[in-house]
Chain A
Amino acid sequence: EVQLVESGGGLVQPGGSLRLSCEASGSTVSFYSINWVRQAPGKGLEWVSSIGTDTRYIYYADSVKGRFTISRDDAKNVLYLQMSSLRVEDTAVYYCVRLAGAAGNYYFSSWGQGTLVTVSS
């Protein structure tokens, strides 16, 4: 199973921006559909965004639509989550996750260790 490694988390002020990165250790990130899932402190899991092997297929949760952008740099073998207009409620651990399965039966087969984003003044 692919090993995913996130980076880029940190402290940012409300209204600010941050870019998270996700690398596939020993593999090629474009081979997989990669998603971001977040978890606020002490709370449950929330799906954030998805990018398919074909980058025409990109989806966002309503809570981040228009503020977050998922993208992939195949030359660098890295996937990104650009986060803008950040809010206090975006504070969470962000996991980079591989999406597996087929239409109607998608699940998250492999998770990174997560990177913490804190939005606070």
Chain B
Amino acid sequence: SYVLTQPPSVSVAPGQTARITCGGNNIGGKSVHWYQQKPGQAPVLVVYGDSDRPSGIPERFSGSNSGNTATLTISRVEAGDEADYYCQLWDSNGGVFGGGTKLTVL
């Protein structure tokens, strides 16, 4: 089945921009979604359809997808953005998740 590859960790200073990648074979031809999960909590959808934001998600969260890489970009990072982030898509076998990236705010 389809494999999504994420870096295990990304670190960024407050106020800077964090970019979390999600790699997959020709992923640019698919629709990618992103979730934020804080410790002890259920995941929350932050980007869907590559670049759309659900209501209530700050504009600081944005997404892009091209070629073999989808990217979640978090601008003006805040301490509260520290969390695990997962990319996801749907293929013929069902839901597929990346392994997750832990975002650390320095």
Contact = CB atoms under 8 A, between A and B. Distances in A.
A46 B30 CA distance: 19
A46 B100 CA distance: 11
Interface stretch (B9-17, B74-82, B88-96): B88-96
By DSSP majority rule, is chain A's interface helix, strand, loop, or mixed? strand
B42 interface: yes
B95 A47 contact: yes
A37 B90 CA distance: 13
Interface stretch (A8-16, A22-30, A105-113): A105-113
Given A45-B100, A104-B30, A104-B90, A111 B95 contact: no
Nearest to B49: A105
A60 B94 CA distance: 8
A105 B100 contact: no
Most buried by B among A101, A107, A108: A107
Contacts of B37: 45
Nearest to A112: B42
